[in-house]
Amino acid sequence: MEVKTSATTTTPGLDRWENAMERKAYLRSIGNAGAADIKRNISTRGANIGRAWPPLAWREGGQRLRDAGTLAQSIHPEVSGDSAMVVAVKQSKGVNIAAVQHFGARIKITPRMRAYLHHIGKHLKRSKTHIVIPPTEFMTFSKRFERELPMILAQEFKS
């Protein structure tokens, strides 16, 4: 197939394709900038969004959302239709870990979990039936990102 273009004539299908590709690139840039901002929330321990997270209560020296680094690695942009979004897809045994960390959770302690915690030196009272994971909001855009996004895009797409 041959496509011919000139300064005076254009191919309508090609124009639509070029516009779609430009729109995808634009949306991809928005997604990339958003993913970088979300990852900055993790690296600054919430200070980036004005919500500094308290230290972990159950493990001395542990850092919320940062110990293994796999949650931050799972954050990426996705483009679908005319939308750009930032997603975190860290899963463990069918549970979305990103959602649990962001919104918090109340988890029932099973006998197997109690045995594992005992094995690693975390002894629970018999009366304790649930573990509460407090919310750690990190999938939130910073005010800085919202202010700078138009400048980032203008710089990237200037002619």
Q: What is the pTM of this model?
A: 0.69
8-17, 119-128, 143-152: least confident range: 8-17
Secondary structure in 3-state letters for 64-107? CCCCCCHHHHHEEEEEECCEEEEEECCEECCEEHHHHHHHCEEE
Looking at every residue in the chain, the average pLDDT score rounds to 77
pLDDT digits (tens, 9 = 90+) for 82-111: 888 888 887 777 788 888 888 889 989 999
**pLDDT band at 155; cut points 50, 70, 90:** confident
